[in-house]
Structure 1
Amino acid sequence: MPWHNVAYFLGGMFLANFFPHFIAGMSGVRFYTPFATPPFRGLSSPVVNMLYALFNLAVAYVLLVVVGSLELRSAPQAAVSAAGFALWSVQVARAVTKLRGSSSP
């Protein structure tokens, strides 16, 4: 069962990482990805962000549903997934704030 908790936590992280890339891609905005130059600091095209978002969504699905067999009515499973989602959301927000602050003139 501990491996399921790891899958839930990581699945929540990948699900959180889906949203900023999906929103940037759908909005036609360039956003940071590991495929940019320099990696994680440069901006990638909206198409790259959409592809990266869909990859994150697929990995989240595999981790949460296939590996973890997540049941949303199970409070412990949902809590572990939510913890991964919340912690990664805060991390992404802090990283983007730092990157945008360092690129200002």
Structure 2
Amino acid sequence: MTIVSKFFAGVLLANAVPHGVSAVQGKQFPTPFASPPGVGLSSPLANAAWSALNAAGGAALLGGGVTGPRDRAALLAGTVSMGFFLAWYFGKADRPANGPDTAISGRTA
């Protein structure tokens, strides 16, 4: 169970970063509290709260800390996995309607 908790600690800690950065920059950013959830924009205050909840959850899941190579690997795997997911999820939101691939290949995805 400790490996799984370290993985999800990495997920939560990685998710805390973009929300916290948006909050301190005073920018709106999607949260689960937005309408529609995860797509609409939330206030910087809501992002600060969501960042704090993610960070607290990640810290709680770390529990006694990261004690060995398996714990470090699980934490890193969770962090990297969430990083790639967030890049994909928010990257598609910034893409033009036809996507950049249509200009190159002439077909839609």
Q: TM over 0.5, yes or no?
A: yes
Quick one: distance in 2 between partners of 1:70 and 1:82? Answer: 14
Deviations 1:21-48 (A, max 9, x none): 0000000011011110111110101000
8 Å contact from structure 1 (residues 10, 60) kept in 2: yes
Q: Which has the higher helix share?
A: 1
Report runs of 4+ in structure 1 exceeding 6 Å deviation.
none
Deviations 1:34-72 (A, max 9, x none): 11011111010100000000000000011012xxx2235
8 Å contact from structure 1 (residues 17, 88) kept in 2: yes
- Name which one, 1 or 2, has greater alpha-carbon Rg: 2
Which residue of 89, 92, 100 maps to 2:94? 100
8 Å contact from structure 2 (residues 11, 79) kept in 1: yes
**Relative contact order, higher structure (CA 8 A, sep 6+):** 1
Classify the secondary structure of the residue corresponding to 1:101.
Answer: coil
Quick one: distance in 1 between partners of 2:52 and 2:18? Answer: 11
Classify the secondary structure of the residue corresponding to 1:59.
Answer: helix
Give the match for residue 71 of structure 1. 66
Describe how 1:1-105 pairs up with structure 2 within 5 A: 3-65=1-63, 69-71=64-66, 74-101=68-95
- What TM-score do you get using the length of structure 1 for normalisation? 0.87
Unaligned regions of 5+ residues in structure 2, if any?
Answer: 98-109
Q: CA deviation at 1:102?
A: 5.8
